[in-house]
Structure 1
Amino acid sequence: MLRVRPLHFTSRIDHWERLLTALGLVLTEGDGGFRVFDSAAGRLAVHSVPEGDPLDGTTTLAVEVGNLAEFARRTNESAAEDGNTPAELVTADHGDACRITGPDGFSFLADPAGHGAQCADADPALAVVAVWFSQDTDGAARTLRHVGARPRPVPDSDETADFTAKNGGVLMVRPASGLSRSGLGFEYGGGLEPVRERLAAAGFQVSMTEEAFGSTLHVANPDATVFAASVPATVWISERRPMG
């Protein structure tokens, strides 16, 4: 199995819960400093940190899998054609995990799934999106294929790549200058008006941009006041239109 489940660090965890609930996610684990929210496709874990902590406002790419050893074996077997072994079983601060490292040096963890099926009460059209920004977009895309992510068509034949995870969520590769990093967003399968209405009803200010391949909602990032220079000002929700 493979499910997208980024980990977001914040000193404003209650603000994030209010935002995620308005977006259509449902709290399924925890109620204190560590909480997990389900969408219909993918999850988001939110970890509380003190204001001013270096992690405050950052997101770490992460996934959930079934059996760690089997996941590592399959990933390395798939990557053998590239002459490397990107998956390594490790003991992280929170327990056993598998670390996957790309050719650009960027790494992320695969953790055992905390619970099985996605929450049936989540908005069925909403998906969690994890983004891998890299100078080596080809290498990042190959690594995601090796872990079992499924490529899907993208509207532009540029340095971008999109993937879906078998058990929920979207993984994107996007070009970036400087060090590789991860990002967070959401995707909605259809018109964005239902999300916009929920966000407005919850007191959030929302703006919309129209782009060639769909619309995108932007809502104020609860962490934006923490480090204005390094934290994105908004959280984005993109409209997912079927590729014709």
Structure 2
Amino acid sequence: MIVQPIHYTAVLPAWLNLVDALGATTVVDADVWLVRAFGSGRLALHGVPDDDPQRGTAQVRLAVPDLDAAYDTLAAPVAGTGATLERREAGHGVELVVRAPDGVPVYLDREDPAPPARPERDDVAAAVAVEALWMTPDVAGSAALLTALGLTPRISSESGGWQDLTASDGGLVGVHGATTSSLSVTFEHPDLDAVSARLDARGIAFALIDESYGRSLQVPSPDAPDDPDVTVWVNEAIHDLYGYRRA
């Protein structure tokens, strides 16, 4: 299983500039459907018109090799969390839809095979992880659902407001406490100074912020570059576990 969130955008070139700066490699390049692989996890970019209601939104998606096997394996664990599991036809084919208790859908897709020859990543790019960020009033319930889906808990806050989980074949999902539910795409890296240098080389603006859990880079979103409240985060991997615990 690979974490592969989708971000819907009307500015594909700007998003590609950002993911290329982070060292992404191509898995699928098909007009308005692009999949890029990172050191850990993948990101799908779906081009949409500027007036599309999905513009600037994201979905949590997990890619698996066999949807039928996943359905049979996950039906009982998912039901045990109070969520629902549905198999349905979508525009791209069959998908599984898991509806969390907070109403957020988590999708399972058939994994796109990697191209036979993938370029080697440098050390900086190899350490980039994709993280789908799930803001929710129900951190414990959402984390329990992701665990039932096969992700492994990694780091949680002692306050109960944060839990992140890893997929067996790469990528992260972070669950953060909030009053309302929302989804976005973020990234993680252990060395933000190295990432900063790559963004500088591409002419990509960013702010380096020191949070209580560590540092983060905040990049103006390609979807709304002039809105300071809409940013793409590259979080520093947590080194100091004060207030946190590792599973």
Same fold (TM over 0.5): yes
Residue in 1 aligned with 2:88? 90
Farther off after superposition, 149-158 or 202-211? 149-158
Residues 5/232 of structure 1: CA separation in 2 closer, same or farther (3 Å cut): farther
**Alignment of 1:66 onto 2:84:** no
CA distance in 2, matches of 1:159, 1:40: 27
Residues 223/158 of structure 1: CA separation in 2 closer, same or farther (3 Å cut): same
CA distance in 2, matches of 1:164, 1:73: 22
TM-score w.r.t. length of structure 1: 0.89
Q: Deviations over 1:113-136 (max 9, x none)?
A: 001489563411100000122122
Residue in 2 aligned with 1:219? 219
Residue in 2 aligned with 1:234? 231
Out of 87, 102, 105, the position equivalent to 1:104 is 102
Q: Deviations over 1:80-132 (max 9, x none)?
A: 544x5632211112101111111112112100000148956341110000012
Residue in 2 aligned with 1:113? 111
TM-score w.r.t. length of structure 2: 0.88
Residue in 1 aligned with 2:167? 165
Contact 1:151 1:161 in 2 (8 A): yes
Report deviation, 1:58: 1.2
Report deviation, 1:50: 1.1
Count of matched residue pairs: 237
Contact 2:59 2:183 in 1 (8 A): yes
Percent identity of the aligned residues? Answer: 30
Residues 119/238 of structure 1: CA separation in 2 closer, same or farther (3 Å cut): farther
CA distance in 1, matches of 2:83, 2:56: 31
Report deviation, 1:27: 2.3
Residues 155/105 of structure 1: CA separation in 2 closer, same or farther (3 Å cut): closer
Residue in 2 aligned with 1:176? 178
SS at match of 2:156: coil
The one-letter code matched in structure 2 to 1:137 is: V
Contact 1:39 1:119 in 2 (8 A): no
Residue in 1 aligned with 2:244? none
Residue in 1 aligned with 2:39? 40
CA distance in 2, matches of 1:70, 1:232: 41
For residues 167-206 of structure 1, the aligned pairs below 5 Å read: 167-178=169-180, 180-188=181-189, 190-206=190-206
CA distance in 2, matches of 1:25, 1:42: 10
Contact 1:76 1:85 in 2 (8 A): no
Residue in 1 aligned with 2:3? 4
CA distance in 1, matches of 2:105, 2:14: 28
Contact 1:40 1:120 in 2 (8 A): no
For residues 137-176 of structure 1, the aligned pairs below 5 Å read: 137-176=139-178
Report deviation, 1:210: 1.1
- Unpaired segments of 5 or more residues in structure 2? 242-247
CA distance in 1, matches of 2:220, 2:95: 33
- Unpaired segments of 5 or more residues in structure 1? none
